[in-house]
Structure 1
């Protein structure tokens, strides 16, 4: 199975639970058997089962598509933030033809950011669903860009999983503050570029506020920048900026430094610290994230995955749809060669003469024999497996499902379609049904015993 992060394993498990809750239980006999073989506690077995079912049914591939769509959506939002930040800088300084009102410029750079930051903080304190609109936009874009119909339950599963530890707020908080940080950094870069390449003249004016009030506000905003070494306009420069003599080089430079320092201190740094804080809370909560085993979808799996007494046999009906076969084990995990037959009658002598290196697994003609062999192959998977079938029988769903399950427990598999006994003939139509079914399973087949392949691995 594909390697997944702990969060992705939990996410897939929750998605499989939602799918079974809405559409009914999946055919999971083989998944349960492999999960029992893998061992571990109940939560580990549930996750193993869910990942196996997700790989089989295409949900794991849908998750990978969704994650790719989420990354692309995040890149689009980041691009939008960069363009918006550049727009803030151009709006603050204008085209350079007219003097710049310093407080209008500061309001353009920080006003919307501070209002939304206050709304985010209030939502965090009282509602806990801050930034929900931006989060919904990101989820919507992720789903659209994933373009996978099987991803319908992935977003709800992720939200339900994160809500159990209230991690939504920290995930959205990281997203919101990160995008605003990107926008403000973009604004700062464009602001510096404009201030370096153009000459701007700064002034202030007010109908209701006098010079003393304006000086007090400017000094209050400049207190922190001045304390950490940034320059700020003096009282004389502030008074001078209301008269025609304001456009001296020193005054212009002082106002420019004050604008950049205010953007960094009151815009960039708060967003950076909040993003790091949300990221820290997200990482801390993610490490503690686990399944809620009391949910009905999980609690009812306890007996199947951790049975109080081992049951033999296959109890579930054959699946309606047979899935594509892929080797369930690697060459490093497997060893030896095995020959097994499915439901042969007494007219055919069995087994054939076999080399010493090829083991005979007998004839599978009961649920107990099937279960025993599958359990053995889970622990000791063969490198090469030959499955002998009697093509006089119809390729029913149960036999094909068993062939598929056996093939997934071996590195390489071939099907041996036996010749008819002397004096009998094979039905051409039924033989064609076998060929079609095995081609759908993508398993090689032949009408002669593959002894050389079993013994050496070569034809």
Structure 2
């Protein structure tokens, strides 16, 4: 991923913190150095460090896969909501062969919606959480559809990040109300379609209640819809519908308008208003999100990213995994050519005679010299870099990590495997180990001096 939103940057940073909390500090020397060079306050440097580590370890790519999976999961749930809403409408009205019991139809359309809406309100009021099962379903589907093992680290980090500002309730609330809004909209559209293409008669039935009860209930439910223009059956129509469905066009239209108005006012509008409320609270809270720099994972980085005095030297152990030289070099604003050697003894005369424009960076044989050169290359990256190596030594992880880090800070790089000093011969097996290691790094290498390439950029 190239451009991240502020929330996504916070999310990645939190993911890196959790990963280091459970697995130990990552090999972050280069990340810390680049973050220091980027400048800014501690939060800015923590973000820069986390972004570099996330890009290196594949978390940024996993975030892209997770977001894609989340969109697919949301689309699947939206389609299910639309189909469910249409099913509610069809179950409420039927095929038109039998009269529609208006209160059974109303219960089918609004019953489950109102019960779950009440449970949401009670959960928000007393527990502060709601819709956890639906939220967990969405997160689970997002992870499965992402099809990336590293995406499993993202969901816990997102939940922890949102819980600090209690944003998870509004995010899940927006999801819940949005899906129910789609369901009720689908039900309303199919309701109108069925009423427009079929002839329905409406009745109400009772055994133990009086007719006055249904008259009062019908008028009470229709009061709010009537305020926005929906017609209300007259008292005579209501009482007559208790015996049989009225075969009168005005009666059918009045009952149809009453049913549509009640579904709109008590089913769709509450979900719409609550979805807008959750969206407003979500945007407001998201804008206030920031790093909690008092957390142990961040406070421990203060000295490394904003040192009171610059400390030179490589203090981290060699990495367990070599990271290939790719990607970053193409974006560097580089200039000039540089030749550097790694851990040469006095049997090699150094430096060789260099062509015009090629600078000698010396021999890196100490932590201080390595760190000093890396800091200089971060500020002034060379266009071309040749790294001279002694193939009599074993290509250990520390040396290869240094070569890779040097190469990532140059426009183009090559390794120069020096010939053996006079009277000595190179070990073929060890030389093969160098070739294999440099191929793993995807770094070009040669046995001859790349001085012409350093001077001109070609051979």
Interval containing the TM-score (normalised by the shorter chain):
over 0.9
- The offset of 1:158, in angstroms, is 1.1
Per the alignment, residue 215 of structure 1 pairs with 215
Query: What's the counterpart of residue 127 of structure 1?
Result: 127
**Deviations, residues 381-430 of structure 1 (Å, cap 9, x unaligned):** 22222211121221111110100111111222211112223333221111
Hey, what does 1:296 align to over in structure 2? 296
Aligned-partner Cα distance in 1 for 2:245–2:14: 69
- 2:443 matched to 1:443? yes
Summarize the Cα distance change of 1:308–1:296 in structure 2 as closer, same or farther, 3 Å threshold. same
User: In structure 2, do the counterparts of structure 1 residues 355 and 261 end up closer, same or farther at CA, with 3 Å as the change threshold?
Assistant: farther
CA shift in 2, pair 1:309/1:12, >3 Å: same
Q: Name the stretch that deviates more: 244-253 or 75-84.
A: 244-253
Paired position in structure 1 for 2:14? 14
CA distance in 2, matches of 1:376, 1:122: 61
What root-mean-square deviation, in Å, do the aligned CA atoms of Structure 1 and Structure 2 show? 1.7
TM-score relative to the length of structure 1: 0.96
5+ residue gaps, structure 1: none
Instruction: Give the number of aligned pairs.
Output: 459
- Larger CA deviation: 417-426 vs 84-93: 417-426
Map 1:24-423 to 2 at 5 A: 24-244=24-244, 246-331=246-331, 333-423=333-423
Query: Would the aligned equivalents of 1:329 and 1:381 in 2 still touch at CA under 8 Å?
Result: no
Q: Matched residues in 1 for 2:302 and 2:123: separation?
A: 40
Shift, 1:57, TM fit: 1.8
Q: Scaled by the length of structure 2, what TM-score is found?
A: 0.96
Give 1:331 shift.
Answer: 4.5
Q: Are 1:327 and 1:411, in contact at CA under 8 Å, matched by a contact in 2?
A: no
Q: Which segment drifts farther, 165-174 or 312-321?
A: 312-321
Partners of 1:349 and 1:91 lie apart in 2 by 91
Inter-partner Cα distance in structure 2 for 1:364 and 1:428: 25
Gaps of 5+ in 2: none
Q: In 2, distance between residues paired with 1:149 and 1:3?
A: 22
What does the per-residue CA deviation read over 1:81-124, in whole Å, with 9 as the maximum and x for residues that have no partner? 11111110111101211010111111111111011011101111
Q: Secondary structure at the match of 1:333?
A: coil
Would the aligned equivalents of 2:81 and 2:179 in 1 still touch at CA under 8 Å? Answer: yes
Please give the alpha-carbon distance, in whole angstroms, between the structure 1 residues aligned to 2:331 and 2:175: 43
Q: CA deviation at 1:244?
A: 4.2
Stretch moving more, 269-278 or 345-354 = 345-354
- The separation in 1 between residues aligned to 2:128 and 2:391, in whole angstroms, is 64
Aligned partners of 2:332 and 2:381 also within 8 Å:
no
Distance 1:245 1:170, change over 3 A: closer
Q: Distance in 2 between matches of 1:115 and 1:394?
A: 71
Displacement of 1:206: 1.9
Distance 1:392 1:314, change over 3 A: same
Could you say if the C-alpha distance between residues 232 and 358 of structure 1 is closer, same or farther in structure 2, counting changes exceeding 3 Å? farther
- Structure 2 distance, partners of 1:300, 1:115, is 49
Asked if structure 1 preserves the Cα contact closer than 8 Å seen for 2:174 and 2:278, the reply is: yes
Larger mean CA deviation between 267-276 and 326-335 belongs to: 326-335
Distance in 2 of aligned mates of 1:324 and 1:123: 50
Partner Cα distance (1:402, 1:310) in 2: 20
Deviates more, 1:166-175 or 1:46-55: 46-55
- Residues 332 and 409, structure 2, Cα contact 8 Å, conserved in 1: no
Q: Which moved more, 1:349-358 or 1:21-30?
A: 349-358
For 1:249-277, what per-residue CA distance to the aligned partner results, in whole angstroms no more than 9, with x for missing partners? 11111211221221111111111111111
